[in-house]
Amino acid sequence: MKKLSRRLLVALVLMSGLALVSSCSTLPKPKPGLYVNKHFCFSVDYPEKWQDQKFLAPVEVLRVANPTEYKLPVLVVTIVDKPKGAQLKDAAKGWIEGVKKSFPGSKRFKVLSQEMIKLADGTPAAAFTLKWNWSDGVTKLQSASVVAYVKNKSVSASATTVLGGDTTPDKLLEMCRTLRFYK
């Protein structure tokens, strides 16, 4: 009887382990233009010619940019703890607070658009565009971001360029909307 119980316990542990390993088994393979995060089971697309950049904040897991003189537009993916009681409808406020904390002196944030969306995989998310001034006090920027709350984390894909540049906020948002979670 004890042997049977041990065998059942071992089988249960093995099956649980397989379930954990296979929880992200549908993830695509990373390649140029596709960032894949195996720990939180998500991916984000970006133009293949864009190049990896040095992280500017400790919460960044991806920073890629157009290989131009000013490295703009730039796409940044961040993962932070989801604040207790946080709601997606307030994600733009949280994003602004995060930027102010990471880049002191950044100011004059104005949310231009905000909507609740579902990502391609069905995950609820907040999508918004905004304009703001970089910490140098001179550079005016426009950003778009998609934020989702998964596994008690806030995952955001954010794209930024100079205000009035060739890349519109809608184009930036289109890139951010490629955020996708896998089961």
Q: Where are the domains of the chain?
A: 27-181
- Retrieve residue 95's tokens: 């994003």
> What pLDDT sits at residue 23?
64
What's the whole-model pTM score? Answer: 0.84
Give the residue-averaged pLDDT of 102-111.
Answer: 94
C-alpha 136/C-alpha 58 separation (Å) is 20
Phi-psi domain of 169 (left: phi exceeds 0; alpha: psi -120 through 50; beta: other): alpha
CATH class of 27-181: alpha beta
Q: Taking the chain, what is the end-to-end CA distance rounded to the nearest angstrom?
A: 37
Q: Within 23-158, where are the H helices?
A: 91-102
Calculate the average pLDDT of the chain: 88
> Alpha-carbon distance 93 to 70, whole Å?
27
CA distance 161 to 73: 4
Q: Is the pLDDT of residue 6 over 80?
A: no
Helix (H, G, I), strand (E, B) or coil at 60: strand
- CA 13 to chain CA centroid, Å, is 33
pLDDT digits (tens, 9 = 90+) for 107-123: 999 999 999 999 999 99
Tokens of 142: 């426009």
Query: Is residue 1 pLDDT above 70, yes or no?
Result: no
pLDDT digits (tens, 9 = 90+) for 39-88: 999 999 999 999 999 998 889 999 999 999 989 999 999 999 998 999 99
Q: How far apart are CA 110 and CA 133, in angstroms?
A: 10
What is the reported pLDDT for 21?
A: 44
